[in-house]
Structure 1
């Protein structure tokens, strides 16, 4: 097969086109400060990885302003910044060559802020748009772009500094009709060249002003409207690290009952809260690389009723919530308060107070941001209607004795009192004379109050009240508690409650005595190499890792093996230099056993070729070229492997055929797949 290559001039033009399109993305900057500012500037060189053309150099000049009168514990004024990228005429020609009329996208710049009051530098990320930029017909392309930083609050006085880091870009060159060029959309990681002074500038932060009083929030002059029953919308001011005080809106709803009788249980009361986080807080979270936020909160409330003023603390979990790129977002949480009863009639009310939240912003990889975990005490702004609703309590306070109906729960054993039907000999109800609990007989005087026993109908024991025709005295079976001694054997029937001793079966949970046999979690560094037999080439497997869980009882383990992308260099036909970037993915997990100091393990490894070159010219750049099935890789150690320290694993495997490699699929399958590939891994305990 003959392959016709583009001329070198065209290849170079593609390189310029890519570089030119990326240049406009070098816009991630950081400028911190308040109203007065000092201009600073820095020019930095980067090496960027691009599709097709590989690594290319790029230069970016950053102009920004740093404050010269910042004061601790006071929010700064957002500062604008600017980036100027000069793209050569050759790059413009390259963009035109692939038909690009415009280029657009976005960029994220990393930086660090060394601020007074912090033990470690704070990593910051700033997202910047790459605006739609016209590619000129000829001559150099000059792109000027920028943005603003959110207001920042410094914790203490001292010297602060800002350093600029690496840049990640997402770019999209387009033709005049808005369609894609041959370059499509792509992400490029631009690493700052080493040995440069990347300090943007330093500035002084004055100590806190003891005479400074924060501007209090405005209080509504009009009477706040009534809230729907069980609902309230409230505004709070909450202090956050880096961005200072922020105003949050919380919508609270509850199934709070409107009416209850004295002594009537409300049942569990559910609370739902929707917290609206402002766009400024979103900016702050994005600034430190926060992709999600999670934690927990405690809301304060007060329950007032006749003769009662009870403060309440309601725990509310804060589930992991995604942080958007911009704008406000909402966090939804919920909790439950236990059932309540009221001893007196009247009006009860629940009011909502302040709340405290403990939050952990996390990056996309799940690790905490530089803010760590922090607690924010949120204060309710004054002048609001914070009533969640009123409960009207009706009935006779004398029904307080209904509290004894709690003992009626034991009257469930009085179901065995059905045998009290033999209490026809309850002629010994004379003992009912000792119904010293004749206090209840006061109600028996007005046996009419047995009508109130209708409320006792809710009590399950009211079933016996049907036989109360004769057993009306047996209602004082509450005193029959003393009679329990008289019928001890019958109470032994209540040994049925000993069935609750079945809960002693929770001793079954004692089976979790297995905890001593819980898997041991082990982490290893993995380094090694593998020989691709048919290419006579060695592929480095350094800087990998293995996370394993070992069952010490059986010696079985399972784990996840991670191996970084690696470059394979070889010679075709023993003559032509070639290379390929190889990605190994442990798609099935690594499983094995450790017995008698020896390890045997198996991994199912998918092999992917993402960049294949010959004589430095690209043959393939794709994510679809991979083995049709995972390679079945068996490894084993010698007889002295110690899982607590590590050791060496060796093995041999067969590489399956490849697919998805475009026009070179057959070429690859003729050169790479086959048996006899060897592997050696050095496993070291972390």
Structure 2
């Protein structure tokens, strides 16, 4: 007798004391599969070998505490012509019953849980001669692994409970019988291993181009370039927004042109929230005036000439697609500058104050 068993959707884990086999959307291209040899005890024909093929859509990875969807288990058994002849000899016309498969869940923390997965066998009409197929269906509720590491699912023995009936729907002389199926020793019975842990958020890369307008400097304009490397986790984009140093064009006293080498550097990560089709970001920055000149004559600045407090950069884009990007804009206030040289007061007056604006276009790369 040859039987093929396919567990089409199975997943295993534990929440508290409750556990069972469960399945989640497959994360690997090739689902786990396993072939095992069994020996089963059948009425009249005695001990018979079974070759069992088991496949599943067990995921390769899950988050800690992530629930699986409610699952469906399907077994497909092909009963050999020899076994079918034994059944028809006892006037069997139809066959129904249940199939139970043993399983073992090894959690990442080493705890072992033994389970039984019940399936209901659909009634089947036996052919006059030859082999026939038997299909059974079962299910399990959603569950989740509660610790990180590697989980393991192994397959154990099986029990078939069969009810043969004659052409009039009455029980045959076999009655309802059980067939115990034991795995042959020395086999690898691991169906799948599952990595349990936090799934890293995908990283999105954007180029950044735009400008800042410095109100106190005439107003002055600071061209900006840079990039944004952000982890995309659900409705958030979080990562470093890096802006390259640039040259600002300013005016003193409303008419004297000045040129300043300026670095607007962000401090730590910029956090963005996606909502309503747009993006709102928040972050901190500092402004450094490394040099400033009037008509080519240096008048101040330096590596220590910077804002005395963090600059709050809050920007928003009414339309933003994480896959392509969008344009962020917002206003900001520049705190006082310190350590800017002999003409530090003049330098500070060209930057300090509210009403500054920034526009930055992020383009996915």
TM interval, short-chain normalised: 0.3 to 0.5
Which structure carries more strand by proportion?
Answer: 2
Give me the TM-score of the superposition, normalised by structure 1: 0.25
Q: Which has more helix, going by share of residues?
A: 1
Larger radius of gyration: 1
Relative contact order higher in (CA < 8 Å, ≥ 6 apart): 2
